[in-house]
Structure 1
């Protein structure tokens, strides 16, 4: 019975530490978020640019002393892992400063698994270990599904845009064809009219 409650608590903690978010970042701006970490905690941030511009974004992680830990420029997809070597607030930012016109939509997940694993290291039975491994696999699958959903949305938008362009091009061609037909009938009718001389 005690093992069941420990397993239930671990599962609840695992689900509580996942944050799936979506944010829109306007041109010439950036959005920052933070996590409080202890020494040795591992922070994983995975993201996908869903729409906007060239589907790229700048990303950076800053430690509690405002030192830049990781920085990437113009990436569509990213997965960054940081192990805290100092206790405090770790900030991660998405920057759209390089874009002058287009807003970007970003889907991202934040995982903080190490803290749970450290607190559960004592008295671990094989079932609990399996549950944690399954939870990590579920989170990896969830990330992959969110990536596929974002890609599907992007491809759907592209297909709908192409469909609209083809439709209007076809309507324009049909209109031009009807206009040319009427003009030819009118021109040939005038060509074969007999002109009377008075």
Structure 2
């Protein structure tokens, strides 16, 4: 019995590991230079997210004197709706959670402004850690296990189930996109065929008209019988 349980645990762990490796990496780390507060240029990063999807953005700004880091998260719609904003980012991890209303890019823009009296210099740089958690990645399984009184094995199975469902949803989305692209290509191909046929008909008609017109012209000039 113990051997079977151990084998099942290893199998589930391997499946969880394999499924995790299929998930895209959403974390990024970069240096953000300090700028003059009058006209700072934001540094923006984006991530594509489906509609009605839970998103959690985790961000941390490394220590740096005389600098104020602000992050603003918006969608890529015409209105550029603000989804989350945080000023004075510190070395402590900050979390922003929201639900997307439409499919598209979620854009996070960072600005690092210097306090009055300080000018941009290579010394004034803060390290930014940014992480996008999307969909199933936002689930807190520790709280879920406590609320539903799940055993460790049941938690792992729940994780595996959610990951597999997330992958299936992505595959379904890709299949729908492929169908739309195929329909667009078929529609374009049909229009090109009709246009080519119409062009050939017009050319044939014009050619016959030119022949008829030239024959009449030459006969009037008595150049041909």
Normalised by the length of structure 1, the TM-score is 0.50
Q: Which residue of 2 aligns with 1:106?
A: 127
Return the alpha-carbon distance in structure 2 between the equivalents of residues 38 and 53 of structure 1. Answer: 38
Deviates more, 1:80-89 or 1:65-74: 65-74
Counterpart-to-counterpart distance in 1, 2:161 and 2:66: 38
Deviations 1:20-63 (A, max 9, x none): 41222331332100010001223222222213234531110011
Instruction: Determine if contact 2:74/2:84 at 8 Å carries over to the other structure.
Output: yes
**Are 1:41 and 1:112, in contact at CA under 8 Å, matched by a contact in 2?**
no
Partner Cα separation in structure 2 for residue 130 and residue 81 of structure 1: 20
Helix, strand or coil: the match of 1:39?
coil
> Of residues 110, 115, 128 in structure 1, which corresponds to 2:157?
128
After superposition, the Cα gap between the structure-2 partners of 1:63 and 1:51, relative to the gap in structure 1 and judged at 3 Å, is same
Q: 2:84 aligns with which of 63, 70, 90?
A: 70
Deviation at 1:95, TM superposition (A): 1.0
CA distance in 2, matches of 1:117, 1:72: 19
TM-score by length of 2: 0.45
Unaligned runs of 5+ in 2: 1-7, 140-152, 163-225
Q: Cα offset for 1:11? A: 1.7
- Distance (Å, rounded) in 2 between the aligned partners of 1:93 and 1:132: 34
Cα deviation for residue 110 of structure 1 reads 1.4
Conserved? CA contact 1:42–1:114, under 8 Å: yes
Indicate conservation of the 8 Å contact 1:43/1:82, yes or no. Answer: yes
**How many angstroms does 1:73 deviate by?**
2.2
Partner residue, 1:85: 101
SS in 2 for 1:59: strand
Aligned to 2:43: 31
Q: Which residue of 1 aligns with 2:17?
A: 8
